Homo-oligomer: A and B are copies of this chain.
Amino acid sequence: MSVTIKDVAKMVGVAPSTVSRVIANHPRISAETSKKVRKAMEDLGYHPNVMAKSLVSKTTRTIGVVLPRPAEELLLNFFFYELIRGVLAQLTRSNYDLLMAGGSNEHEELETVTRLVRSGRVDGLLLLYSRASDPVIHFLHEEKVPFVLLGRSLDYEDVPSVDNDNVQAAFDATNHLIAQGQKRIGFVSGPSKLAMTQDRLMGYRKALTEAGLPFKDSWVVEGEFLLESGYRAMAYIMSQPEPPTALVVIDDVVAFGVLKGLTELNYRIPQDVAIVSFNNIALTELTMPPLSSVDVGTYQLGYTASQMVLRMIQQVEITARQIIPHRLVVRESSLLTVPPHA
């Protein structure tokens, strides 16, 4: 049998409520009683029963993280992991716990969220990517549950979210290639229903337009956030009569596939094809050649999102949409000493 508030009360010779007040740092409690109670708690190894506490307070000090359904989207891997690190750091600091819940398809995902919310298991939620017409967002919006989206909602304008300026990020990445003298720039994309994909594609197009460079449909390949995706894209994109001499790639892991594909096809990087990608995961430094990548502040993304849900739970006013700054990290994969031949 675990030690309860009653045991502590009995030991000190006070009422349970007094012990409760000591725990809650109630103002009107004598220093002396407080000290005795604390000592007793220590001696008995007392830890408050969170379930009982939650039952009456209707709060859990727990934030749920809903994993996007497996494989493809999830395996943003290092990126995802770094995100969780940021989330965990902030939550731990605030004495909140993290509940991870899966769901292997869209239906299950909604079911899980419904359960977590309705059964009072979490005080708030973090959603790890936004899709078009996401039923989960719809549900949470209706129920007025505190939640923060990592990314951007395509359906609701005012959903609290933490995001990068992906349009600008892709614009910057593309412009970097343009500044290197690149004229034929392609885009290896992700799933088109993700807001992130759409934004980055838009930034890429904008940069081309402003520079008066051609945009060709055949230079844009849609795929998943998978290694194979980038690999396969190369067979297609490079078999064209006029293949691009530079590529903007949606994600580092996809870029690894791109590197692999290009190398097998005997293209030199960056001389024949220059590459810039996104997320700047640790491995980007270690590929051959090292990969230029836009650092999107992954850790900070997670950290900020957590901070935001916590604020919402405490009813503190928040700005609905926070933008984490990005920064292009230039490495060899995009650096040309001599401009590409036209």
A residues bordering B, Cβ < 8 Å?
Answer: 2, 45, 47-52, 54-55, 60, 62, 67, 70, 74-75, 77-78, 80-81, 84-85, 88-89, 92, 97-104, 114-115, 118-121, 227, 231, 253, 256-257, 259-260, 263, 282-283, 285-288
Closest to A84 in B: B100
Could you tell me if B81 and A121 are in contact, using CB atoms closer than 8 angstroms? no
Closest to A87 in B: B100
Extra A-B contacts (5), CB below 8 Å, given A51-B52, A77-B282, A88-B100: A51-B55, A89-B102, A92-B102, A98-B101, A256-B286
- Select A51's contact among B51, B80, B98, B115, beta carbons within 8 Å: B51
Known: A81-B77, A102-B88. A119 touches B48 (CB 8 A): yes
- Select A121's contact among B50, B285, B287, B288, beta carbons within 8 Å: B50
By DSSP majority rule, is chain A's interface helix, strand, loop, or mixed? helix
The contact sample of 5 A-B pairs, CB cut-off 8 A, is: A51-B52, A77-B77, A92-B104, A97-B121, A227-B285
CB A3 to nearest CB in B, in angstroms, measures: 8
Known: A81-B80, A256-B283. A118 touches B288 (CB 8 A): no
Could you tell me if B120 and A50 are in contact, using CB atoms closer than 8 angstroms? yes
Closest to A61 in B: B121
CB A258 to nearest CB in B, in angstroms, measures: 10
A120 / chain B contacts, CB cutoff of 8 Å? 2, 49-51
A50 / chain B contacts, CB cutoff of 8 Å? 119-121
CB A61 to nearest CB in B, in angstroms, measures: 10
- Select A98's contact among B100, B253, B256, beta carbons within 8 Å: B100
Could you tell me if B45 and A49 are in contact, using CB atoms closer than 8 angstroms? no
CB A144 to nearest CB in B, in angstroms, measures: 13
A45 / chain B contacts, CB cutoff of 8 Å? 118
Closest to A71 in B: B85
Cα distance A103–B259 when bound, in Å? 37
A259 / chain B contacts, CB cutoff of 8 Å? 286
Cα distance A45–B227 when bound, in Å? 42
CB A91 to nearest CB in B, in angstroms, measures: 8
Could you tell me if B283 and A227 are in contact, using CB atoms closer than 8 angstroms? yes
- Select A97's contact among B84, B99, B287, beta carbons within 8 Å: B99
